[in-house]
Amino acid sequence: MENMDQHCVALLKERGVTLEDIAECARFLQADYHQNLTREELMTSVKAVLSKREVQNAIMTAVELDKLAEEGKMSDKELEGALRRDEPLYGVDEVLAYGICNLYGSIALTNFGYIDKKKYGVIDRLNQAGKGDGVCNTFIDDIVGAIAAAAASRFAHRDAKEGN
């Protein structure tokens, strides 16, 4: 793994998210299409998504904003309040996540919408923890959902290439 990959894996870990958690979300998303994917195949797909610079930039931005809000260090207290409350109409957290999905086409975007609604696995845990006092997971839950959505969509693209 490259340095930036490792940096982003460490940032995710710091926020309570492992690559296995994301691979599990990707497994959930593609379970109707490919039942026999191995843990290794899922992890490889998650790592491929994480190796993209735009994905890394989204992770760094998301984690930094959540941490600044959580620690009360934002200079704009209106924005800080919106992030701490995870206001449903804020929406920029999802827009940042779309940036990841857009690298992988419309299947990734559809997958993201689905897992965002279902709040599966680690996404549910992040969401619940974010409702607690002093924890801000406003950005990270969407980023994790988008990485899983992108990782799952890679299997569909791979099959299309193989003519399956």
Instruction: Kindly state whether residue 142 participates in binding Mg ion, applying the rule CB under 5 A.
Output: yes
Among the candidate windows 7-15, 88-96, 100-108, 152-160, which touches Mg ion by CB under 5 A? Answer: 88-96
Please identify, among the stretches 9-17, 34-42, 48-56, 85-93, the one whose residues bind Mg ion according to the rule CB under 5 A. 85-93
Please, which residue, 39 or 131, has the CB nearer to Mg ion? Answer: 131
Among 21, 41, 66, 93, binds Mg ion (CB under 5 A): 93
- For position 66 contacting Mg ion by CB under 5 A, the verdict is no
The least CB distance from residue 139 to Mg ion, in Å, is 6
CA distance linking residue 142 with residue 149, whole number of Å: 10
The three-point CA angle 130-135-136 to 5° equals 70
* Sign of the CA dihedral running 57, 118, 89, 64: negative
For 20, the token pair is 């296995």
Question: What is the C-alpha to C-alpha distance for residues 139 and 95, in angstroms, rounded to an integer?
Answer: 10
Q: What is the dihedral of CA 70, 140, 49, 42, to 10 degrees?
A: 120
95 vs 160 by CB, closer to Mg ion: 95
Return the amino acid letter for 90: Y
* Smallest separation (angstroms) from Mg ion to the CB of 64: 15
Give the span between the Cα atoms of 72 and 66, in whole angstroms: 10
- Give the residue with the Cβ less far from Mg ion, 29 or 143: 143
Query: Should residue 70 be labelled a site residue for Mg ion when binding is judged by CB under 5 A?
Result: no
The distance from CA 158 to its chain's CA centroid, rounded to whole angstroms, is 21
CB 52 to Mg ion: min, Å: 21
- For Mg ion, give the closer residue by CB, 42 or 108: 108
Binding residues for Mg ion, rule: CB under 5 A, are 93, 138, 141-142
